[in-house]
Structure 1
Amino acid sequence: MSFSVDYLSEYYFLGRLFILNEFLYEWLFYMNFNKEYIDWLRKLLLRWNYFYYINNNPEVSDVVYDNTMKELCDLENKYLGCVSVRSPTQLIGGTLNTTFKKLRHLSPMLSLDNIFEKSEFLSFDKRLRVMLVDEVRISYCCELKLDGLAVNLVYKNGVFVSAATRGDGIYGEDITSNVRTISTIPSKFKITNNISFPDILEIRGEVFMLDIDFIALNEYLIKQGKKSFSNSRNAASGSLRQLNSAITAKRQLSFFCYGFGCVQGGNFPKQHWDRLQYCKFLGMPVSDYTRLCQNSGEVLQYYNDVQKMRSVLGFRIDGVVIKVNDISLQKKLGYSFKAPRWAIACKFPSKQKISKLYSVDFQVGRTGILTPVARIEQVLLSGVKISNVSLYNINEIQRLDLMIGDIVVICRIGDVIPRIIEVVKSYRKFNVVQPIKFPNYCPVCNTKIYRVVQQAVLRCHAGLFCSAQRKRSIQHFAARKAMNIVGLGSSLIDQLIENRLVYTPADLFYLNESQLLNLNNVGIKVVSNLLRSLNRAKCTTFSRFLYSLGIYKVGIVHAINLAIFYGTMDRLVNADIASLMRVQNIGRVVAGYVYRFFREQYNLKIVKELLSSSIGIYWLEVAPLSLHTNNIHSVFFGKNIVFTGSLSICSRRDVEDKLLLFGAQIHNNISSKTDLLIVGQSAGSKLQKAIQMNIKIMEEMELLNLLKIN
């Protein structure tokens, strides 16, 4: 098949027109949405800058600010035509405070570009090697990235003459009189026979506050009825921006030198590391944590070392700063509009992350309480992938003013439990959000939901009719502190309930080998171990059995106290509320739940079946406390007991069960309330702590003799 020249020309024209239309469509889309969004991001960041730099009262956390700034940078890089010199991405510092006189820097005081991953540093290192094609080796001077206020100090003939904040990089706020009050900043250089110094020298550094001084300042402000600072960075910045330098003088501020601006006259070292050591000789404070690294591997090792020690430094840092050490190479690499190309700030991974809330589900617990669970866009936080976050209850949702579609800040409480700590409400302008709807019916069994009066609790009252509650009840019954049925995991419980083999805890003891082998991924070894565990569980203690029943609000301590007080199941079942309230730590509310539990015929039926001859759960009966007055004088009654080391003659569980029968309280850690430490083989640090705290110590054999265990 052949085409004429005219036809080919027409085909080419139509193709070009199609490409042009695609470009116009993308451009119109940008004009209609992205430009408005980009302009909004700029205004938002400028507002946050004002509150951060001028008011010393940040509106959002650092992680929110950093994410928003990164988003704006990415959009400006994508739509190059929209970049503006007024954009926050192009600004060097914050807005100047008009209450201070302006002071022009002798040389521009630029910012640093930020990176957040080790891989980004390796890209930075590779980029420098491409730019410095003739250089075989590049050494780096690595420093702490202090979380304070950057300042510029000017010395003439070794005498301090002025100080200014970074400001917009060209002009800063004149804070000379306030800086003079910082005792660690010398008013003049030390003069020795071996050291000369430039005629004019600009020293760049960071004013910050030690943690101990920050705590003391906030305590003082609170006592004076004044507003405290949210963090040490704001405290340092606010203290340095006082109009009355006498106030600054009363606050403990610290300073570290980290760089240099204008240098005129005299001899000055040609390596950044040597310049810092030179300044030490002049009497200028320089961090001892600065390190000279000969290659990228040593830089990454420094990063790891600092990250590990940051919690014990005594002041706040948020990363490390990496600078090319050779000044001549710095000059070759030069500067971008707002930052040097020879330096980079590598921030530590945030302990908080930004995510988006997609939905909220309600999970049904053992007692029927519905717990809201947030489904969020997956984030990696402290090495853990997080996509689900518990919202605890209705009050938490209302406190956060949380809505579906919100941008939220996630952290891990105690580095373990994920939690939403902040809602970035500013983003609602461009996010479609909708209120979270609370369910009227149980999401599992469709039973009507009731809100507990005077509590932020939604509850399904279907009991074991609700399969979710049934599963949780079986899990609780089999738990280690309850009946301790080893091998009965959640996946196996799910199968037992879904296959209608188990409805109540009693059904567990009727399971046989053939039934269990028919389940998925259940082999003969698992089955034999589970059946043996079920048989062993029949011998237990009264307190464990009570706890396993899952009576609402009855924890392990309540169960122990009830077992000690009543001694037998019959006495407990027939107890009235007045009697129950005489039990240690049992108030009217818990007494009411216990009383009502044993008035439900369904509950009594299960208890009787578990204790019947067909199943045969049993324990050694003991006289109730009300009748057994000798217990009051027992060595162990009411005592808080801790174990250390391993027991050699019998299991720790057997000993603990025996002690619980005598009314002891078992704890994991030594405290001022500890009455007795039981010491076994290979005792740990608890022994030394007990000696220091003058806590009574008992060895294993003495304990076993008292308990009459052979």
Structure 2
Amino acid sequence: MTSASSAPSVPATAELAATRAAELREQLHHHAHLYYVLDAPALPDAEYDKLFQALQAIEAAYPALLTPDSPTQRVGGQVLDGFVPVRHTVPMLSIRTETDTEATGAEAFDARVRRELDLAPTAAPIEYAAELKFDGLAINLRYEHGVLTQAATRGNGETGEDVTQNVRTIGQIPLRLHGEAAAGIAVLEVRGEVYMRRDDFEALNERQREANEKTFVNPRNTAAGAIRQLDPELVRQRPLSFFAYGLGDVQGWEIPATHSAMLDALQGFGLPVCADRAVALGAEGLVKFHREIGEKRDALPFDIDGVVYKVNSRELQRRLGFVSREPRWAVAHKYPAQEQVTRLDRIDIQVGRTGKLTPVAKLEPVFVGGTTVSNATLHNVFELRRKGVRVGDQVIVRRAGDVIPEIVGRIARVAKADEAAADLAGAESVAEPSRNPYVPNFHMPKACPICGSEVVREKGGIDHRCSGGIFCPAQRKQALLHFAGRRAMDIEGLGDKIVDQLVDGGIVTNLPGLYKLGVAKLAELERMGEKSAQNLFDALQKSKSTTMARFLFALGIRHVGETTAKDLAKHFGNMDALMAATEEQLLEVKDVGPVVARSVHAFFKEEHNKTVVELLLAQDMISFPQSEGAAAAPTGPQPLAGKTLVLTGTLPTLSRDEAKALIEAAGGKVSGSVSKKTSFVVAGEEAGSKLDKARELGVAIVDEAGLQALLAALE
């Protein structure tokens, strides 16, 4: 709550208040457009909030100044009793869909248009507007003299539902169009799609999981369900976006002569229009567009299920007209479906490179996303329970390009299988009330199916993991790569391709085996000449002399990073004492909490992990010539003692590791997150959210030159 001393000031007279309110609305509209539509914010969130609060204060003091297009009207609103029907002045018609997966759909459409226009084979190619077919909910926005007055769903095409309050919460939709030209248009109905970006959808589901609430099936259903919520505040909490692509009723505006020019005009009015569109010439141009979008489809930040072709000339559109309430001048050309229904035959367990155990669904093969799918991830047992999925169920499988297929929900049992399939678009991952959410025919194993080590789950965590670590074959490659890392044992030359050959060929089965490699054996590897083999051998020999902290970090114990490894090394002084430590003794170490203590104790409780460490030390493969049993006294000035710094962005000359080393050598601590306790944020090019957080909290910000000055002069 804002205190009285920090409350925004309100002009003393209604006249001054009106002027100031108009200025604030203009600024807020401008910055909202930069943020939501152009993705180029020019103002920190805190500054935007100040402007917003100032306008709120004026409108509260002078209610007559509140306007329908005020940015303050985006937030909240009364809960609706129901939706009021809206009769569309111009019907919202569907368009014909070509369901083939090849380019022939584009060629057939072009041939049909040319035939309808009675064009000779030698006539010039027709110009088309080619766009994306968004996977969301169609909406009609009505602007009167540039101000949003109503928003309605498509409904049955003739009559939709009034969802104005809900649509007002969508930041990308302007409450007032830009420019005097837009203000002069008596009525402008803009048709478009409300959708949800993939990253926003994933973030929403992550919040749902953290709150132990139901997760959502897909972005399309979530967006459609959000728009039809009766509480606008709930809609505001769901991150929705919008693209404009057409017109409804228009009064008082001379519509541009082509569809593409009309979209340019809408963009000029401040409406978001998708950049992935083109003017294509003839069938050849449409085929090219279809292919190019198909290739980039999976990289798009939102879902599409096809592309749309429209004759670009409005005059030709008029001549072509309609048939069966579908325009002859437009067609949708769909890509292969990314969701299908199939049967879940069994559930297996997969052990990942980091030891995570993932339930994997074995499916009755189904063609989805352009390929046949027989396996799909279930993420973890808790997600499996939320979705109520069991062996024998009919499930919804989703695959997008190279993304691993996943089960997003199941089809509740109904009288007819074809009715279930028909209901797919609206299906959600929920169980019937009478069905126990716990899966009776599946349990997570207590022992790793690969190495037999104990399976552990951290208190409050959702993932089950194998505690085998460096011993488990499933984790062997990842363990070796981490062990060889620059901040661990620093074995230069031991990269992915070499590790793949060593593990796949059975040459190295554990860490001691790494140090038994000779030059001759290394030279036998693919693309490994004698000189490269000698260099890798030398790097292995050099890594034998290290510190306990580096070695401990290299073991890859979960939750043990570089700083924790240093703290453990300083506290215990040697590996024997550390391996024998109880959880209670581990909790005595600086900055070690229950999660880290349990993880370290569980790692060394596995005899095979202890054996690997003991072999490495006993056979002089690894030694610690520099003891870390006690903290060494500082050898130089400590200008950053007691200070916490955060690094963000790319510095001109220093790498992240080099900057961190300089800060730590000067007595400072480097943190990964910004808080009120942060002393300085060191920002380089392309600094991200940490820089924004620093500005919000008023933390001092310096560049590389400023850091060097701190290192040299700070008292």
Amino acid at match of 2:119: V
Amino acid at match of 2:647: V
CA shift, 1:628, in A, is 5.2
Match of 1:621 in 2: 627
CA shift, 1:444, in A, is 3.1
Secondary structure of 2:331 counterpart: strand
Amino acid at match of 1:425: I
Secondary structure of 1:510 counterpart: coil
Share of identical aligned residues, percent?
27
Q: Quick one: structure 1 residues 476 and 677, their matched pair in 2 at CA, closer, same or farther if it must change by over 3 Å?
A: same
Equivalent of residue 128 in structure 1, options 93, 110, 113: 113
Residues matched between the structures, number: 550
CA shift, 1:102, in A, is 9.6
CA shift, 1:671, in A, is 7.5
**Are residues 1:581 and 2:587 paired?**
yes
Rounded Cα–Cα distance in structure 2 between residues aligned with 1:191 and 1:470: 66
Rounded Cα–Cα distance in structure 2 between residues aligned with 1:490 and 1:260: 57
Question: TM-score under structure 2 normalisation?
Answer: 0.55
Q: Quick one: structure 1 residues 349 and 667, their matched pair in 2 at CA, closer, same or farther if it must change by over 3 Å?
A: farther
CA RMSD of aligned residues (A): 6.8
Equivalent residue runs for 1:460-539 within 5 Å: 466-468=472-474, 470=476, 472-489=478-495, 492-493=498-499, 496=502, 501-518=507-524, 523-524=529-530, 526-539=532-545
**Residue pair 1:408, 1:424 contacting (<8 A) in 2 also:** yes
Match of 2:127 in 1: 139
**Residue pair 1:642, 1:670 contacting (<8 A) in 2 also:** no
Rounded Cα–Cα distance in structure 2 between residues aligned with 1:126 and 1:406: 41
Equivalent residue runs for 1:179-258 within 5 Å: 205-206=190-191, 258=246
Secondary structure of 2:124 counterpart: coil
CA shift, 1:506, in A, is 2.3
Rounded Cα–Cα distance in structure 2 between residues aligned with 1:579 and 1:138: 79
**Residue pair 1:560, 1:660 contacting (<8 A) in 2 also:** no
Match of 1:295 in 2: 281
Match of 2:317 in 1: 330
Match of 1:684 in 2: 685
Match of 1:548 in 2: 554
**Residue pair 2:87, 2:160 contacting (<8 A) in 1 also:** yes
**Residue pair 1:402, 1:436 contacting (<8 A) in 2 also:** no
**Are residues 1:635 and 2:635 paired?**
no
**Residue pair 1:670, 1:686 contacting (<8 A) in 2 also:** no
Question: TM-score under structure 1 normalisation?
Answer: 0.55
Equivalent of residue 411 in structure 2, options 425, 430, 440: 425
Rounded Cα–Cα distance in structure 1 between residues aligned with 2:668 and 2:628: 15
CA shift, 1:342, in A, is 0.7
Match of 2:450 in 1: 444
Q: Quick one: structure 1 residues 177 and 633, their matched pair in 2 at CA, closer, same or farther if it must change by over 3 Å?
A: closer
Secondary structure of 1:483 counterpart: coil
Q: Quick one: structure 1 residues 114 and 511, their matched pair in 2 at CA, closer, same or farther if it must change by over 3 Å?
A: same
CA shift, 1:544, in A, is 2.0
Match of 1:590 in 2: 596
Match of 1:222 in 2: none
Amino acid at match of 2:685: G
**Residue pair 1:517, 1:523 contacting (<8 A) in 2 also:** yes
Match of 1:79 in 2: none
Amino acid at match of 1:400: K
Instruction: Provide Cα deviations, 1:654-700, integer angstroms capped at 9, x if missing partner.
Output: 77567667875546787776545679xxx635599599752355659
**Are residues 1:400 and 2:387 paired?**
yes
Match of 1:339 in 2: 326
Secondary structure of 2:359 counterpart: strand
Equivalent of residue 113 in structure 1, options 96, 121, 127: 96
Secondary structure of 2:700 counterpart: coil
**Residue pair 1:411, 1:418 contacting (<8 A) in 2 also:** yes
**Residue pair 1:258, 1:286 contacting (<8 A) in 2 also:** no
Amino acid at match of 1:640: L
CA shift, 1:124, in A, is 2.6
Instruction: Provide Cα deviations, 1:452-496, integer angstroms capped at 9, x if missing partner.
Output: 697766666777765435555434423444323344356654654
**Residue pair 1:538, 1:617 contacting (<8 A) in 2 also:** yes
Rounded Cα–Cα distance in structure 1 between residues aligned with 2:501 and 2:494: 11
Amino acid at match of 2:409: V
Q: Quick one: structure 1 residues 230 and 111, their matched pair in 2 at CA, closer, same or farther if it must change by over 3 Å?
A: closer
Query: Computing the radius of gyration over CA atoms, which structure comes out larger, 1 or 2?
Result: 1
Q: Quick one: structure 1 residues 416 and 660, their matched pair in 2 at CA, closer, same or farther if it must change by over 3 Å?
A: farther
Amino acid at match of 1:397: L
Secondary structure of 1:695 counterpart: strand
**Are residues 1:695 and 2:683 paired?**
no
**Residue pair 1:470, 1:504 contacting (<8 A) in 2 also:** yes
Rounded Cα–Cα distance in structure 2 between residues aligned with 1:457 and 1:174: 43
Match of 1:371 in 2: 358
Secondary structure of 1:482 counterpart: coil
**Residue pair 2:394, 2:410 contacting (<8 A) in 1 also:** yes
Q: Quick one: structure 1 residues 541 and 312, their matched pair in 2 at CA, closer, same or farther if it must change by over 3 Å?
A: same
Rounded Cα–Cα distance in structure 1 between residues aligned with 2:449 and 2:304: 47
Amino acid at match of 1:138: I
Match of 2:14 in 1: none
Equivalent of residue 559 in structure 1, options 544, 561, 565: 565
Rounded Cα–Cα distance in structure 1 between residues aligned with 2:229 and 2:314: 34
Structure 1 residues without counterparts, runs of 5 or longer = 1-97, 156-161, 219-227, 243-252
Secondary structure of 2:328 counterpart: coil
Secondary structure of 1:533 counterpart: helix
